[in-house]
Amino acid sequence: MGGRGSGGHNRKSTARKKLEGNRGHRKLNSKEPKPKPGAPAMPPYVFASRFARDEWNRLVPLLLEMKILTTADGPALGGLCAAYSQLVMAENAIQKYGLMVADLEHATGVGMVRVNPAVRIKSDALRHLRAFCSQFGLDPASRSKLSIRNDPTQDPVDDFFSGKDTDEIVQ
């Protein structure tokens, strides 16, 4: 059950199961590949779009701070940024031309009013954006399921002197 086209829920990664708590108490995959934490390379299709590039530059520091971004997440994050770019461009087209557009049928010479194609593009982009945001814990529902543990090797005194004071009392 699960996976694309199966009709069930999409599968969760082992890391996400650990963060949410293994509610099914099934054996976790101990041999799952673990990519390095860090910023992935920006895909060319993200660099080509100004809106996608701006969203990439906004999200990478945020996801690094949340400690959920790895070097292997480039295509998924790129898809999120591309969906955001399509959303912005569709919204701009709707603002410029409106929800309905007049169209002249050349064969009959009859004018028709129809829905602006940008409305469907916007709807598709929102659906894709929502799915990608869920994968990265960027929507309230998926974020509430995550539980990031503090790094036990991090010393609160180091945080204080580096300017990242966590308000933790040190004795």
In this structure, are residues 47 and 53 in contact, taking their beta carbons and an 8 Å threshold? yes
Contacts of 164 (CB under 8 A, 6+ apart): none
Residues 114 and 96: their CA atoms lie apart, in Å, by: 15
Residue type (1 letter), 84:
Y
List the chain domain ranges. 14-21+33-147
Find tokens 């992935």 and name the residue. Answer: 40
Q: What is the pLDDT of residue 170?
A: 43
pTM here is 0.71
pLDDT in tens, the chain (171 residues): 455 566 677 677 676 677 777 888 888 888 878 889 999 999 999 999 999 999 999 999 999 998 889 999 999 999 999 999 999 999 999 999 999 998 888 888 888 899 999 999 999 999 999 999 888 888 877 777 666 655 555 555 555 555 555 544 444
